[in-house]
Structure 1
Amino acid sequence: HMEGRTWAAGEAFSMADCGAGPFLFYADWTHRIDPKFANVIAYRNRLMARPSFKRAVDEARPYRHFFPLGAPDRD
């Protein structure tokens, strides 16, 4: 579904992306996204590059030890 799209609901960043971002962030921690899902990986990378999302990730770093499955040394 992500083929040809920049964001989840089209070309504009929206609430759909705000909702999908945390799920993709943590999902990749627990089970690496399979490389065959290149569009999903590219989408996650675009989310990680957004200043607002990057800021949220950076500000949450001190709390990673609370992640129940253990936080990897990667974003």
Structure 2
Amino acid sequence: MTIEKKEKEISRKDFLKGVGASIAGVTLLGGVGGILTACSDQTTAEVQTTVEAKGKPEWPFPYAKLDADKAAERAYHAYLSKGG
């Protein structure tokens, strides 16, 4: 008695079809959660409350001159504290 293994070969075309279908499925399922969350009334109410509390920013934003040395120091410390 011999047990024969039947090896399944997959073509390049079939492989690419499977990968494409997987990516499309993950993309669609990942977007469903965002859509459902965005439709909730609670989230919309929270955003509106935050905007009303802070007020709308003026447009165009006023120009503020930056100190290059302070900006560099702040960026350096932020890089170190956040782990790169």
TM-score if structure 1 supplies the norm length?
Answer: 0.29
The answer to which structure, 1 or 2, has the higher relative contact order (CA under 8 A, 6+ apart) is 1
Please tell me whether Structure 1 or Structure 2 has the larger radius of gyration of its CA atoms.
2
- The structure with the largest helix share of the pair is 2
TM-score if structure 2 supplies the norm length?
Answer: 0.27
